[in-house]
Amino acid sequence: MEHLLQLFVYLPLLAFFISLFVNGKKEKPLANIAIVSIGIHSAILLIITTLWIINKCTTIDYKHLILYKSAKFEFFINFYFDKTTAVFALVGSLVSLSVTIFSKYYMHRDEGYKRFFNTLLFFYLGYNFVIFSGNFETLFIGWEILGITSFLLISFYRDRYLPVKNGLKVISLYRLGDVCLIVAMWMAHHIFHKNITFHELQTAGFLTALLVEHPTYIQTMCLLIVVAVSIKSAQLPFSSWLARAMEGPTVSSAIFYGSLSVHLGIFLLIRTTPLWENNVIIKSILIFIGLSTSIIASSIASVQSSVKTQIAYSSITQIGIMFMEVALGFHVLALIHFAGNAFLRTYQLLVSPSVLGYLIHDMVFSFVPTQQASENTFLAKIKNTIFLLNIREWNIDMYLYKVLWNPFKWIGNSFNFLDKTASLIFVVLLYFIGFINLFTTKLIPESIVLLLDIFYAILAFIFIVKAFTERKNAIRAWLYIITSQLLIALAISMNEHIDFMHIAMYLSGILVAAIIGLICLLKIKAIDNDISLNYFHGYAQERKGIAAIFLLCCLALLGFPFTPTFIGIDLLFTYIHTHETILIISIALGFILIEIAVLRIYARIFLGQHKKAYHPIAYRSS
């Protein structure tokens, strides 16, 4: 039966590829492909789950495919099936099927009908990769797919300002969680000295010696996982992104942020429970996050004027309670709670347009203003203060912006001298000195060589920050990003045991994407010699082909799982030792900013309102 688990990934993948070749004007075939594929998926899942229950719920661990193998590293796809998988998969398939059938009619005659169903099937592929994953690497493939589909669905109405802006806000926080997960995987490689599976984590006695031998590393790894799941499930202090994500179509909000994607933090917590179940600090942090989020999110939800925002914060409240349930060991209760919350929020979001219509009708004909006398007591002032804080969502957005992004903008603006040609020539010379030193060891004194990896990693980080803050020229920002990737490869190549085949694997997808992406930007510049990042250009309306190609280049540059770079990133991280703190921090910070910088270029050039007046001006919000 374990061989059938691969069907849950291949079916949505096949449906996604078929949908790409369907004419966008033919709505019925597009919708039917999605409905039939998810329906077959659900039927097979019900059969396999029934057989699994008959076989006394025996856990299935299936090593499916080895993508890369070396003497010290093995990258493989692993599938896993237990009660957690069964619950998340069944709920996911039923919710997805319901929303897909609803979308067939809800999205009728929408300009992006095909784009919506393509993205929906791609999302379903990513969700199944996460749910059926048997190791961190397989889970991360799905995690990355869910991140990019979130961005695409939030900015679905791409000719409007706010959907695109909020899409970038959400993906910036997602990226922070992604990199926390990457660093946690890096620590796992050094702790376990292999690609660990979730089945091994569940094995009795497997972690006993390691918890004694590496207590600090495992606790740090757990803290990184806590940050990643808090961001994914919109827990404090990262709660504000969920309301911003509601800018997409109501149906995508229902499946993504009401039911499935937002609960994946709970899934990962249950999967990694053996790592922290005996750690009082981690359990206390989870309970504190869940409790504080539930209290604050419920108070915010009670005063919001937008029904989508109310539902978003209500969902966050319930997920906070699930955090506490998982931390206290009530996993079955958390799974039941997840199923109930997922179905309820999906229903609420799907009927919200109709409910709003009824309420507006009732308000017009039956509105009676409440008569309340103003109070001037101390308790009234406290109550009003809390009310205003809830209206402003406790200023979470503002504080996140100041703490997370303002420091990087300040750093980027401090290195404006790199814009000058002389500075760039100097950097090129430094790069070639380091490159030559890889093959001629006597060129640089050994005392300096020991610090070169840190120097090039910090230099790579500076170039990424420069791309992040660049406003004048998209081509210059793109070149900064390419330079940073070359510097990262050089920094890790300073390791004396490096396999240069791994460097080539890392750079293969990046260099091809960099060249094609540069050609796309040059073609856009040739239109009216304007490639500024100060405003949106909206070229996706007129240059859909170039926009699609450039988006693929952006994803390849980021190491999305369709190029060798995805495996190359994992391989390069294995060469960074646990004592090289500055090196890992510099590269990790760089990886956080690079996705934001790359997608910002895509958004500014191809999305948003078109700059030419002959295109209709869309509303700011959807």
DSSP 255-273: IIIIISGGGHHHHHHHHTH
pLDDT tens per residue across span 24-38: 788 899 999 999 999
Q: Residue 2 above 90 pLDDT?
A: no
Q: What is the pLDDT of residue 98?
A: 92
Higher-pLDDT residue of 501, 450: 501
Q: What is the pLDDT of residue 371?
A: 66
Higher-pLDDT residue of 96, 210: 96
Q: What is the pLDDT of residue 343?
A: 92
| Band (441; pLDDT cuts 50, 70, 90) | low
Question: What counts of helices (H) and strands (E) characterise the chain?
Answer: 26, 2
Structure tokens at 204: 């009795």
pLDDT tens per residue across span 519-566: 999 999 998 888 888 888 888 888 889 999 999 999 998 888 888 888
Whether the Cβ atoms of residue 225 and residue 268 lie closer than 8 Å to each other: yes
Number of neighbours of residue 573 by Cβ within 10 angstroms: 20
Paired with 60 in beta bridges are 81
Q: What is the pLDDT of residue 422?
A: 78
H-run or E-run covering 413? helix 406-414
* pTM (predicted TM-score): 0.91
Q: What is the pLDDT of residue 445?
A: 66
| Band (601; pLDDT cuts 50, 70, 90) | very high
d(CA 162, CA 245) in angstroms, rounded, equals: 10
pLDDT tens per residue across span 392-412: 888 888 888 888 888 888 888
Q: Which of 13-17, 182-186, 320-324, 436-440 has the lowest mean pLDDT?
A: 436-440
**Averaged pLDDT score across all residues of the chain:** 86
Report in angstroms the alpha-carbon separations of 452 from 430, 487, 491, 502, 512.
10, 11, 7, 20, 27
Which amino acid type is present at position 421?
Answer: T
Q: Residue 88 above 90 pLDDT?
A: yes
Whether the Cβ atoms of residue 98 and residue 120 lie closer than 8 Å to each other: no
Q: Residue 477 above 70 pLDDT?
A: yes
d(CA 322, CA 20) in angstroms, rounded, equals: 38
Question: Region 256-283: what's the mean pLDDT?
Answer: 89
d(CA 618, CA 250) in angstroms, rounded, equals: 18
Q: Residue 21 above 70 pLDDT?
A: yes
Q: What is the pLDDT of residue 471?
A: 86
Give the whole-number percent of the chain exceeding pLDDT 70: 93
Q: Residue 491 above 90 pLDDT?
A: no
Bridging pattern class, strands 74-81 and 60-69: antiparallel
Higher-pLDDT residue of 185, 617: 185
pLDDT tens per residue across span 347-361: 888 887 777 777 776
Q: Residue 104 above 80 pLDDT?
A: yes
